[in-house]
Amino acid sequence: MKTKIFPIFLIITFSIIFFVFYKGLQNSSIYTPEIKSKIKIPNFQAKEFFSKDKINSDQIFIGNEYYLLNIWASWCIPCKEEHKYLMDLSKKENIKIIGQNYKDSLDNAKNFLAKLDNPYDLIFLDNDGTIAIELGAYGVPETFLIKNNQIIKKIIGPLNQNLLFEIKKLIQ
């Protein structure tokens, strides 16, 4: 009798564990924060990508214009995938695209832009990642839609056709 109870107990235990893990996989727990109120751009100082001149955030985000701040790196595969959408947006006159080069080799970043073209109106360097942290970024790529020096939309991950359509709708 004792020899029959142990295998049954083992089967029931593994069935319960399997059921719990199976249900856990069915439940999407991906957290994507939404911006419920506008967040002001933090004040920061960085080096401009090409000239290495120091530039302040208040010199970048001026007035009542729309800005798309895109955090990217040459080593980032999703950044390469989203690049065509940035090129599409760069043709719009009512938005300025700002690039934030994140923890990247300058030569690799320049080769990235030479190969894929440059959609950015301005690029600044974030070699140690502190500016990205101040903005509340999780990694690369991330994109922020900015107006009046405030973040009005945050996009975690690469841009795609749906997000491109949403951005174009917002900036009309």
Helices (H), 27-103: 57-60, 77-89
Classify residue 164 by burial, with Cβ atoms within 10 Å: 0-12, 13-18, 19+.
Answer: middle
Does the residue 6 lie in any domain?
no
Structural domains counted in the chain:
1
pLDDT score recorded for residue 172: 86
Question: Is there a domain that residue 110 lies in?
Answer: yes
**Is residue 13 in a domain?**
no
Domain that holds residue 76: 39-171
Is 31 contained in some domain? no
Q: What is the pLDDT of residue 30?
A: 55
d(C-alpha 64, C-alpha 71), whole Å? 22
Query: Which residues, given as ranges, of the chain have pLDDT below 50?
Result: none
Residue-wise pLDDT tens digits, 118-158: 999 999 999 999 999 999 998 899 999 999 999 999 999 99
> What is the per-residue pLDDT for 166?
95
* 125 occurs within a structural domain: yes
What integer pLDDT is reported at residue 23 of this predicted model? 79
> What confidence score (pLDDT) does residue 2 get?
62
